[in-house]
Amino acid sequence: MNLLLLEDADLIAADRALLRGRRLKHLNEVHRAQAGDSLRIGRLGGALGSGRILRLDGEAAEIAVERLDEAAPAKLPITLLLALPRPKMLKRVLQTVASMGVPRLVLLNSYRVEKSFWQTPFLQPAAIREQLILGLEQSRDTHLPEVSIEQRFKPFVEDRLPQLASGTLGLVGHPGDYPACPRAVDAPVTLAIGPEGGWIPYEVDKLREAGLAPVQLGERILRVETAVTALLARLY
Amino acid sequence: MNLLLLEDADLIAADRALLRGRRLKHLNEVHRAQAGDSLRIGRLGGALGSGRILRLDGEAAEIAVERLDEAAPAKLPITLLLALPRPKMLKRVLQTVASMGVPRLVLLNSYRVEKSFWQTPFLQPAAIREQLILGLEQSRDTHLPEVSIEQRFKPFVEDRLPQLASGTLGLVGHPGDYPACPRAVDAPVTLAIGPEGGWIPYEVDKLREAGLAPVQLGERILRVETAVTALLARLY
């Protein structure tokens, strides 16, 4: 938690917040903070700044907002389409996506996504939000990425993706005899990353028809979370 | 497990392996493999190829080695120095390091490494090896990275690092007003990545004296595992 991210519900006055639960525990046990300590704070969806701990005990932390006058870091100009990962990986990927500055994430079905993955409680909006908040706290960002869920591959890719990808550099991360993923692009990107085991050829064809060109990252097969980070670091 | 990695102890004849334990379980439960199936195999420290499952049940899997004639993917020309991460992160970082193709890893002390981290059972050689093997299986590599443990920062950085970094591009990943991490370098690199909270100024100075120049990855603070992947993807 490199940033204490304040939400409306935390505020007991315009410049005063009261925390319990996870963040209180973190201040006590990880930061080993004390009354009087200064903290990096941010308003969810707003600015960054600093605060001071007025009171901290086992019950609650009371924080004075001192200033909120810095802009959050810029987002990457990217829309990331991700074949729904297995639940444990999903949690980590959501954190990674938020911490790397991805503003839009689409969780998409694919032939190799196990049907059971769609049943996970980690896909509930509150669970997704929780992981995104952890990612924002990590990277000192305040703006939640938009996450949308597309459980039907074909209608999404045929009917909606062409417009979504229009005017962007469209890419599909896919192992094989494809050009290497470009570096340091100075353009908005629509990037699709497949499931464990990769997209099937039909899916690559459909993504291609929607305007996305296959690119590869070398012969090593990476976990989804690692592939997401590696592709983003290379593109921007 | 994108590769079945065979060790000497698995072989019951020159071209025959018998598996139990984790890999057997994985073949049964994740791959849902059957006798007759073909598999990507590799010899630890050796070549890649293919094998066939002769027998598979709850007790054991018997694998026929069909061919071992492909070279493992090339390693990155890098030595990675990493401030010892917290135990849970250490496990994941070891997998990431192995899967990304880092051949040499030094786990180093730093002021912000909690002393208790050095007591973790995950630092035992067998535990390190286990995580590295998982990373190799992921990325279809056969060569274990060398991991060394340096529990004293100063003597390592003063006495050994200058020689280790000699003839390489020496870099310290560090947030701040430093040049951006270079891209697509065509050179061997020695890269140091700090702990959560970063290196302290004294440590940056010592690393600099040893020939490593600070570089940054932007204003976002990334988890160690994400920073490792992002820096490697940018450098190579």
What pLDDT digit, counting tens, does each position of B65-116 carry?
Answer: 999 999 999 999 999 999 999 999 999 999 999 999 999 999 999 999 999 9
Interface contact A222-B100, CB threshold 8 A: yes
Query: Which residues from chain B sit within 8 angstroms of residue A233, using beta carbons?
Result: 217, 229-231, 233-234
Residue A234 one-letter amino acid: R
In angstroms, the CA A173 to CA A193 distance is: 5
Mean pLDDT calculated for residue range A134-162 = 98
Burial of B123 (0-12, 13-18, 19+ CB in 10 A): middle
In the listed set B70, B93, B111, which residue is the last one of a domain according to the structure? B70
**B97 and B163 assigned to the same domain:** yes
**A55 and A12 assigned to the same domain:** yes
User: What is the predicted pLDDT for the residue at A207?
Assistant: 98
User: What is the predicted pLDDT for the residue at B207?
Assistant: 98
A85 and chain B in contact, CB less than 8 A = no
User: What is the predicted pLDDT for the residue at B175?
Assistant: 86
* Strand B48-56, strand B38-43: pairing: antiparallel
In angstroms, the CA B208 to CA A103 distance is: 36
CATH number for the domain spanning B198: value is: 3.40.1280.10
User: What is the predicted pLDDT for the residue at A84?
Assistant: 98
- In the predicted structure, residue A228 carries a pLDDT above the cut 90: yes
Q: Which residues in chain B come in under a pLDDT of 70?
A: none
**B63 and B133 assigned to the same domain:** no
**A99 and A49 assigned to the same domain:** no
For A175, nearest residue in chain B (alpha carbons): B139
**A200 and A136 assigned to the same domain:** yes
Please report where in the chains the tokens 């139990």 appear, as a residue. Answer: B20
**A10 and A65 assigned to the same domain:** yes
Interface contact B223-A184, CB threshold 8 A: no
User: What is the predicted pLDDT for the residue at A138?
Assistant: 96
CB pairs under 8 A between A and B: 73
Mean pLDDT calculated for residue range A103-128 = 97
Query: Which residues from chain B sit within 8 angstroms of residue A135, using beta carbons?
Result: none
In the listed set A70, A97, A112, which residue is the last one of a domain according to the structure? A70
CA proximity to B232, closest of B198, B199, B191, B204: B191
Interface contact B226-A99, CB threshold 8 A: yes
* Strand A213-215, strand A169-173: pairing: parallel
In angstroms, the CA B30 to CA B28 distance is: 6
**B120 and B225 assigned to the same domain:** yes
**B150 and B199 assigned to the same domain:** yes
Chain A closest-CA separation from residue B188 CA (Å): 18
Tokens coding B21: 């334990």
Q: Which of A183, A219, A231 is facing B184, going by the closest CB pair?
A: A183
**B113 and B25 assigned to the same domain:** no
Question: Tens digit of pLDDT for each residue in A158-206?
Answer: 999 999 999 999 999 998 899 999 999 989 999 999 998 899 999 999 9
**A63 and A88 assigned to the same domain:** no
User: What is the predicted pLDDT for the residue at A166?
Assistant: 97
A184: helix, strand or coil: coil
Chain B closest-CA separation from residue A197 CA (Å): 9
Interface contact B221-A2, CB threshold 8 A: yes
Domain that holds residue B180: 78-235
**A66 and A91 assigned to the same domain:** no
Interface contact A220-B183, CB threshold 8 A: no
CA proximity to A49, closest of A33, A71, A30: A71
By the 8 A CB rule, do B62 and B37 touch? Answer: no
B32 and chain A in contact, CB less than 8 A = no
Interface contact A230-B226, CB threshold 8 A: no
In the listed set B70, B86, B111, which residue is the last one of a domain according to the structure? B70
**A224 and A113 assigned to the same domain:** yes
For A:99-158, CB contacts with B below 8 A are 99-101, 138-141
Interface test with A, best of B3, B29, B30, B220 (most A CBs within 10 A): B220
Domain count for chain B = 2
- In the predicted structure, residue A122 carries a pLDDT above the cut 90: yes
CATH number for the domain spanning A56: value is: 2.40.240.20
